[in-house]
Structure 1
Amino acid sequence: MKQAVIFDMDGVLVDTESFYFKRRMKFFDDLKIEPATRKIEDFIGSTNGMIWERLVPDDDEKRNILKEEYSKYCKEHEVCFQEILNPSVKEVIRELKDRNLKIAIASSSERKEILRMVEECGIASCIDFVISGEECVQSKPDPEIYIRAIKALELLETEVLAVEDSALGIRAAKAAGVTVAALEPRDYYIDQSEADCKVNDLIEIISEI
């Protein structure tokens, strides 16, 4: 019997993966610079540092300059989380709370963005624990983020269900000993073969608890 669900944020609770990808490509297009890759699959589940190493792999100085410029660009083109909230999120959270399950978020995104998301989407009061990749020494697929979340929830690994979308996130949760449900993306392909099960809609995780 599961006692908690740990959600990844990007691509699971909110469809930020597509938004962020389009924003990055527009940034490079505006500067008339060609990034090293234009495949969205190359960025799914990655940390900010990993993403920039893929965009500008061989020039540290150029990468740092562009990264700083992009930070300013993002403030002018900020994501509205309410507009890209997964339609099933509130129903799923309500059902989990009715069953007295704990809810956590373990995401590679910055903590301030996770907290902004839960506030904007009106689900902050339902979240028992939040951990960001920037708070961890190691990034996904290392299991650190899940190990720390499980410890904070004061549960056993077998009592937790993780909901992920990326191969890196799935691998991190599995390495921590957690059962993983993978939410299949609609607009691109991700290898989710390491997950215990796949769902097309978040509401389907209820049957896995």
Structure 2
Amino acid sequence: MIRTVIFDMDGVIIDTEPIHHHAFFSLFAELGIPVSEAEYATFLGKSTRNVFQQLKNNYHLSQEVEDLVMRKRELFNTSFDDDADLDLLPGVRALIEDLRRHDVQLVVASSASKATIARVFDRFGLGPYFAHRISGEDFERSKPDPAIFLRAAELAATPVSECIVIEDSANGVAAAKAAGIYCIGYASEHSAGQDLRSADRVIHHFSELTASDIKTLSAQ
């Protein structure tokens, strides 16, 4: 029986991807580096620090990785605070509430920074629902490395066979499967171009999931 659900955040709980995209490409323009949309798509699911470590090597950037991370975060925060229309993705709050009513433990395991996770949680009042928040900035390697999901299961004191992961990126799905965790791929308009075929199940709307159904799932 499933006792813990591990949520990715960006693209699953909230669609901040357009804000991240704007912040990244604004910074790429400042740096004068020709990052394509195809190259950018390979970054989804990775931490900002890992992305800039890769870009520093690829484009021989003189700036320190930490300075690039902070500048991107500044651009993101400005756009996040200015976007009055930003909201949780359709159906996800109802699913979160349903899971908690059924005593399912919730963990967020996101490649986003701790500051960004806190910003989202504070704005939308998510804190009371989640037992743990895990940021990719605490890991040397990003998804598809499974470390973040293994840590989520450890913090939740739940065997991986009694966890599921909900993810919207190919890197995230690969990380979940590498951790030995049942993975639900969330295929929405925001995850276009992401290969979710390795997921155990793919949904297109959170109304397709209920706590009762989730609790009966098991790792393959």
| TM-score, normalization by structure 2 | 0.83
| Partner residue, 1:12 | 12
Higher deviation after alignment, 166-175 or 54-63: 54-63
| Partner residue, 2:96 | 93
Q: CA RMSD in A?
A: 2.5
SS of 2:172's equivalent in the other structure is: helix
Residues 1-209 of structure 1 correspond to what in structure 2 (within 5 A)?
A: 1-29=1-29, 31=30, 33-39=32-38, 40-53=40-53, 55=55, 57-61=58-62, 64=65, 67=68, 70-71=71-72, 73-74=74-75, 77-80=78-81, 83-187=86-190, 188-206=192-210, 207-209=213-215
Q: What percent of counterpart residues are identical? A: 27
Higher deviation after alignment, 49-58 or 8-17: 49-58
The structure-2 alpha-carbon separation of the partners of 1:201 and 1:67, relative to structure 1 and needing over 3 Å to count, comes to same
Which ranges of 4 or more aligned residues in structure 1 deviate by more than 4 Å? 53-56, 62-66
Alpha-carbon distance in 2 for matches of 1:146, 1:5: 11
Q: Once the two structures are superposed, what CA deviation does each residue of 1:4-51 show, in whole Å capped at 9, x if it has no partner? A: 11000111111112221123223444x483422233422211211333
The structure-2 alpha-carbon separation of the partners of 1:108 and 1:59, relative to structure 1 and needing over 3 Å to count, comes to same
Conserved? CA contact 1:25–1:38, under 8 Å: no
Alpha-carbon distance in 2 for matches of 1:38, 1:53: 18
Alpha-carbon distance in 1 for matches of 2:69, 2:110: 22
The structure-2 alpha-carbon separation of the partners of 1:58 and 1:117, relative to structure 1 and needing over 3 Å to count, comes to same
Conserved? CA contact 2:28–2:35, under 8 Å: no
SS of 2:112's equivalent in the other structure is: coil
The count of aligned residue pairs is 208
Q: Which amino acid aligns with 2:99?
A: L
The structure-2 alpha-carbon separation of the partners of 1:174 and 1:202, relative to structure 1 and needing over 3 Å to count, comes to same
Alpha-carbon distance in 2 for matches of 1:72, 1:114: 12
The structure-2 alpha-carbon separation of the partners of 1:158 and 1:75, relative to structure 1 and needing over 3 Å to count, comes to closer
| TM-score, normalization by structure 1 | 0.87
Alpha-carbon distance in 1 for matches of 2:23, 2:141: 26
Unaligned segments of structure 1, at least 5 residues = none
